Amino acid sequence: KKKLKISGRELAAVPEQVFGLDQLQVLEMSPERESCLRHRLELLPRDISRLKNLTLLYMDSNNLKAIPAEIGSLRHLERLTLSNNRLSSLPPEMAALQRLRSLHLANNGLAELPAPLCQLRGLTFLDLSDNKICTIPSGIRHLEKLETLLLLFNSLESLPEDICVLRNLHTLWLGNNCLRALPASFGELVNLDWGCNYCSCNFEGNPLECPPPEICSRGPEEIRDYFLSLHRT
């Protein structure tokens, strides 16, 4: 058996038999989206390390408060979904997940960008929306392959210039933060879709002063041109 989905209105533990399925590649323990249910699973057992062949692990909408260090043993993991839990930190061992491409962490209790994430150089999709993140470390520059970065509904007051090094970014959501200024090199994110497309580049809900409000009100293309003109001067 290579794919397993476990569901139940009151799921509170992972059945022990699961960890004997050493050929398992996909494990889904998220409630059905349409049912609006939340599992009561508070702990991901350390025995998760026995599932060495996992490539996809879905743990959304549980009650997880911590992720065990053994998660770092899942060296084949490519997609990990942990949105809608109660996580306030991630273990350093997550830095070992060098095949990870997609990481979902929306709607948790993260107050900062966890340091291990900056070492996941193969990451192309990162969702950190709806947390309590105040700062982005300069180490984010190491996520060279990142294409999608979602940071809506956080507490960001500033962005490091290093974020402008992420030239593969196509989608960047920064709406509903506390940003008063964007980095001077922001216009160098040349692969962003700077058209008036909400799904590609979003700044709404920030008290921006640089660029000035009159520039921001004209849309993303005007913001891009503003920064490019600064760069030329």
Query: How many whole angstroms separate alpha carbon 54 and alpha carbon 77?
Result: 6
Across the range 174-201, mean pLDDT stands at 78
In sequence order, what are the residues at sequence separation of 6 or more whose Cβ sits closer than 8 angstroms to the Cβ of residue 150? Answer: 106, 126, 127, 128, 129, 171, 173
Q: Which residues of 152-175 are buried (b: 16+ CB within 10 A; e: fewer)?
A: bbbebeebeebbbbbeebebbbbb
Query: How many whole angstroms separate alpha carbon 36 and alpha carbon 54?
Result: 26
Residue 46: what pLDDT?
Answer: 94
- On whether the 3-231 domain is CATH 3.80.10.10, my answer is yes
- Kindly report the pTM of this predicted structure: 0.91
Percentage above 70 pLDDT, the chain: 89
Q: What is the pLDDT of residues 9-63, one digit of tens each?
A: 677 788 889 999 999 999 998 876 545 566 778 889 999 999 999 999 999 988 8
Query: How many whole angstroms separate alpha carbon 123 and alpha carbon 133?
Result: 19
Query: How many whole angstroms separate alpha carbon 94 and alpha carbon 78?
Result: 12
Across the range 158-187, mean pLDDT stands at 90
Q: Which residues of 20-46 are buried (b: 16+ CB within 10 A; e: fewer)?
A: ebeebbbbebbbeeeeebbbebeebee
The ranges assigned to domains in the chain are 3-231
Query: How many whole angstroms separate alpha carbon 230 and alpha carbon 209?
Result: 15
Residue type, 26: V
Residue 38: what pLDDT?
Answer: 65
Classify 106 as helix, strand or coil.
Answer: coil
Q: What is the pLDDT of residues 146-169, one digit of tens each?
A: 999 999 999 999 999 999 999 999
Residue 111: what pLDDT?
Answer: 94
Pairing of strands 102-104, 148-150: unpaired
Neighbours of 99 (CB within 10 A): 14
Q: What is the pLDDT of residues 126-150, one digit of tens each?
A: 999 999 999 999 999 999 999 999 9
* R_g over Cα of the chain: 19
Confidence of residue 201 (pLDDT cuts 50, 70, 90): low
Q: Which of 153-157, 200-204, 212-216 has the weakest average pLDDT? A: 200-204
